Amino acid sequence: MKSMMLRQVVGVSLVGVLAVMAGCVGKGETRYLDVRTPTAAAPSPEQEPVKIVIEPFEDRRDDKTRVGQRTHLWGGATVFNVAGERPGEVIAQALADRLKNRGWRGRPWKVQVGRSADVPDADIVISGQVSEFFVTAKSRVFSTVINASNKFSVRARNVGDNSTTIRSVEGAQRTTVFWFAEGDAQELLAATLKDGIDRFVADTMVTDRALRPAH
């Protein structure tokens, strides 16, 4: 009886190990990440009387087919991308969401994403270039190391005096998890993007309907 019970325990354990091993093999699938970070709206409902349009950022990445991948423990990979597969649009929308809810001085601003030609009365036109935006996850025995990085430039053209302000934004974050879930990669990439946008807002200011460096 004891021998039979031991064989059953070993059999169940083996099935569990095989199931884990199967889950650690990549099949070349693509998973889409949502890197939008909810931002609490400012207490005041009044928006600043300055109209801002943000154009989709230009994608200057070397590899435009993905935003990263997970390398599985027993071989193969899972590819990561953003919905729509256009990180430049995702970053522009993330910046717009941040400014509309809580931008400079913690207040909401009139912001929309689109072409500047469609908003002839805009006070500030923001555009940008993305040179790096990725997240990688490398699975090992009992852990997965996740790295996220972004690098982009933001150019603001002030329509009133035709001046410009250019800021470079870059950052990287790293974490290690025991049991990997796709949400881990999504959260780290989103956090890295949020940090970059927060620093852009902190480094700039709007005065006289124009965006200027804060220092």
> Where would I find the beta strands (DSSP E) of 60-199?
68-71, 77-82, 109-113, 124-140, 143-158, 163-177
CA–CA gap between residue 156 and residue 160 (Å, rounded) = 12
* pLDDT band with cut points at 50, 70 and 90 for residue 112: very high
pLDDT confidence of residue 104: 93
Mapping DSSP to helix (H, G, I), strand (E, B) and coil, where does residue 211 land?
Answer: strand
pLDDT confidence of residue 73: 80
Residue 30 within a domain: no
Residue 29 within a domain: no
The two tokens of residue 95 are: 């910046």
Residue 163 within a domain: yes
pLDDT confidence of residue 28: 66
Domain that holds residue 153: 36-62+84-213
The two tokens of residue 210 are: 């124009």
pLDDT confidence of residue 215: 78
Residue 9 within a domain: no
Q: How far is CA 15 from CA 2, 4, 11, 19, 186, in A?
A: 20, 17, 6, 6, 30
Residue 188 within a domain: yes
User: Can you state the angle between helices 182-203 and 87-102, rounded to 10 degrees?
Assistant: 60
Section 121-132 average pLDDT: 97
Residue 10 within a domain: no
Q: What is the pLDDT of residues 39-64, one digit of tens each?
A: 777 777 778 889 999 999 999 999 99
HSE-up of residue 82 (Cα within 13 Å, Cβ side): 21
Section 150-154 average pLDDT: 97
Residue 124 within a domain: yes
Residue 51 within a domain: yes
pTM equals 0.84
Sequence-separated (6 or more) residues with CB below 8 Å from residue 176: 143, 144, 145, 146
CA–CA gap between residue 144 and residue 185 (Å, rounded) = 10
In the chain, the percentage of residues whose pLDDT exceeds 90 is 68
212 has a pLDDT exceeding 90: yes
> Can you give the CATH number for the domain in which 176 is found?
3.40.50.10610
Q: What is the pLDDT of residues 8-39, one digit of tens each?
A: 433 333 333 333 443 455 566 899 999 988 77
Q: Tell me the longest C-alpha to C-alpha distance in the chain.
A: 89
User: How many folded domains does the chain comprise?
Assistant: 1
* pLDDT band with cut points at 50, 70 and 90 for residue 200: very high
* pLDDT band with cut points at 50, 70 and 90 for residue 111: very high
Q: How far is CA 149 from CA 23, 90, 117, 129, in A?
A: 26, 15, 32, 15
